Each structure stands twice: as structure tokens, then as C-alpha cells.
Amino acid sequence: MTSVLETSALGKRYRRTWALRDCSLAIPRGCIVGLVGPNGAGKTTLLSLAVGLLRPTSGSIRVLGSDPGRDPTVLARTGFVAQDTPLYRDFTADDLFAMGRRLNERWDDGLAQARLARLAIPNDRPVGSLSGGQRAQVALALVLAKRPDLLILDEPVASLDPLARREFLQLLMSSVAEQGLTVVLSSHLLGDLERLCDHLIVLSASRVQVLGPVDELLAEHRLLVGGRGAPEPTDATVVRRSDTERQTTLLVRTSGPIVDPRWSAHPVSLEDMVLAYLQDPAAGALPGPRPLEASG
């Protein structure tokens, strides 16, 4: 069992509208998965399904081998930080840790305390009086001390200033190195993705649009610049095309090098690639969703 999280034709409907549908993927152990997509694309829905806050309308989801909606032991092994890091604002960090200790079997109090001490965050003040960055750190320490196998973060840094964001991500990444976690995080901030994630899921209009290991995706995508009227390369799938009077720019997905001399090929950044897909939800370089596979 190498998949930490597995979904099959997963769907969630609120009354008439589908928030997520036909979602099939498998997340291998030990990787960091970035979940991106516009607002309302279903990111929060997918993450909430993964921690049992929501129940699927169709399909199935398995986390660490069981159904998160039925098996609380899965929740003890999963750390979840919801959007805007909700915490009991009148609790101190110590109170929150006391809660964590009582509600989770594998709780590691030393770990929680050490992390706060390292960041010089007061643990005897109500967390409501802390800065947003400090609150996020407390929330992260709270889930890390559960010694989870899987960490799920919904827009963890969206509301943080750049310094707080950096500190949060530093703590997160060193913890991942230390504890060997699998992480799924959703983010608006495409710029951070390349350094954080080794796998990527692009959700768009309630469906999975692109997914795969970041290295492979980057290797497969090229930006081609050529004169207007140059025929599109036959051995590549065009994700996006833009034309000026003289010039045509293509973002393509291809498995081999572009040999046609009429096109000059350039590598593309993860951010540009994701944006190209998001601009056109119908663009599918993929024949359809396919499960993520562990990259070698």
C-alpha cells in the first residue's frame, strides 16, 4: 500500500451543483502535493472530503487505507489545518496543546513545545491576541505534534505577510524532512509551488484538469515561438495558442524535443504552465484524469 490518499470517481454535490466530480487520483507516500485552481474549483471540497468533514455524494475516498468519514483513527493520523486556521481564540497555545494531548493518541508534547519555543511564540497568551503568522504557526505545531502520516493544509499561507509566510513554510519543510510526512496543500500562490511541491493537481471547474509529478510536467511542456503561419508541430499537443500579426506563441505538451527549426523552444516555469491551463478550463493535454504515480 503505497498510496496515502486514493480517490475513485469521487464526487460531491451541494443541492444542484457539483463542487467536485469524477475525481480519481492516488497520492504516493512521502510526496508534497500542490493543489491549485481558481476559487470555487473544488479544492476545499476535496480536502474536506479527505478529512471526513464532508461525505462523498458519489465515488469513494480512502485515506491511509480507510474511510476518513467513518474511522476516527484515520483522523488521529492526519493533520488538518483549515483555511484561515480556525482556533479557539480564547485558548492559549498551552490550552490547545492540552486539547491535542487529550484527543490524540500519538501526541508528542515535547515537539509542540519545542516548535513554539524556537519561534519565541508566547504559549500563555490567548491565541486570539497573537498575530496571524503566529496563529498559523501554533496551528501548524498543533497538527505536527499529532505525529501525522498525512498533513492536509488548505491555503495555509494565503493570509500571511511575506515574512510570516516564509517562516511558516520553513517550519513546514523542515518538519516534512524530519517526520517523513506526506503533504497535500492547496494554494493560490503559484510562485511558491515550484519550490514546495513535487506533485501537482490542477482543479478547474470541479474537475481534475492536470496532475502528475512536477518534474515530468515541466519536462513535457515547452513554450514555442515562431513566425505567424508556421504549422503547429504534429508531435505535440497545444495547450494554449496566442497570435500577434507576425508571431505565434504556443504552449505545448510533448514527449520529445521539438525539431522543427521554424519554432524556437523555451522551457516554461511551473507558474506559467499552470496559468495556461487555468485560463482555459477546457484545455486538456491529458486524455483524462489519470492517477498520480510515484516518481523515481
Partner 1 sequence: MIEFRLDTRSHVVPYLQLVQQVRQALRMGLLERDDRLPTVRDVAGSLAINPNTVLKAYRELELEGLVQGRPGQGTFIVGSLGAPVHASHEKLRRELAAWLGRARREGLTEDDVIAMFDTTRRSAEGAA
Partner 2 sequence: MIWLTWRQHRGQILTALVTLLLLGVLLFVTGRQMRDAFTSGGLEACLDTLGTPAFVPIDGSSNCVDLGESFAARFFNLRLLALVGFLVLPLLLGMFLGAPVVARELEQGTHQLVWTQGVGRRRWAVTKFALLALSVLVLGSIFAVAVDLWFEPLNRATGQRFTWLIFDQQGIVVAGYAVFAFALGVLAGAMTRRTLRAMGVTLLLFCIVRFGVAVWVRPELAPRAERSYPVVATTMPNRLVGDWIIGGGGPGVGGIYDAEGREVQGGQSFCEPDRAQECVDEYGEGAMNFEIYQPADRYWRFQVLEALVFAGLSFVLLGAAVWWIRRRLT
Contact flag: residue 130 with partner 2 (CB under 8 A)? no
Contact flag: residue 178 with partner 1 (CB under 8 A)? yes
Q: Are 186 and 192 in contact (CB under 8 A)?
A: no
Smallest distance from partner 2 to CB 240, Å: 36
**Dihedrals phi, psi of 262, to nearest 5 degrees:** -75, -15
- Nearer to partner 1 (CB atom), residue 75 or residue 223: 223
Distance CA 269, CA 275 (A): 10
Helix (H, G, I), strand (E, B) or coil at 252: strand
Kindly indicate which of the ranges 61-69, 164-172, 200-208, 235-243 contains the residues binding partner 1, using the contact rule CB under 8 A: 164-172
Contact flag: residue 16 with partner 1 (CB under 8 A)? no
The DSSP symbol for 126 reads B
Paired strand residues for 154: 186
Beta-carbon neighbour count of residue 252 at 10 Å?
23
Contact flag: residue 243 with partner 2 (CB under 8 A)? no
Q: At what angle do helices 109-118 and 93-103 cross, to 10 degrees?
A: 160
Contact flag: residue 108 with partner 2 (CB under 8 A)? no
Contact flag: residue 171 with partner 1 (CB under 8 A)? yes
Distance CA 106, CA 229 (A): 63
- Nearer to partner 2 (CB atom), residue 87 or residue 130: 87
Helix (H, G, I), strand (E, B) or coil at 63: strand
Q: Binding partner 1 by CB under 8 A: which of 196, 202, 250, 278?
A: 196
Helix (H, G, I), strand (E, B) or coil at 288: coil
**52 to each of 63, 75, 231, how far by Cα in Å?**
10, 8, 50
Contact set for partner 2, span 29-68 (CB under 8 A)? 48, 51-55
Contact flag: residue 86 with partner 2 (CB under 8 A)? yes
Kindly indicate which of the ranges 70-78, 172-180, 240-248, 279-287 contains the residues binding partner 2, using the contact rule CB under 8 A: 70-78
Contact flag: residue 173 with partner 1 (CB under 8 A)? yes
Contact flag: residue 258 with partner 1 (CB under 8 A)? yes
Contact flag: residue 75 with partner 2 (CB under 8 A)? yes
**Positive/negative CA dihedral, 84, 188, 168, 143:** positive
Distance CA 295, CA 229 (A): 38
Element (H, E) at 167: helix 162-179
Q: Binding partner 1 by CB under 8 A: which of 174, 242, 247, 279?
A: 174
Distance CA 114, CA 110 (A): 6
- Nearer to partner 1 (CB atom), residue 12 or residue 199: 199
Q: Binding partner 2 by CB under 8 A: which of 66, 73, 247, 264?
A: 73
Applying CB under 8 A, the residues found at the interface with partner 2 are 48, 51-55, 69, 72-73, 75-76, 78, 80, 82-84, 86-91, 95, 98-100, 102-106, 146
The residue ranges that bind partner 1 (CB under 8 A) are 30-32, 166, 169-174, 176-178, 191, 194-198, 215, 218, 257-259, 261, 264-267, 269
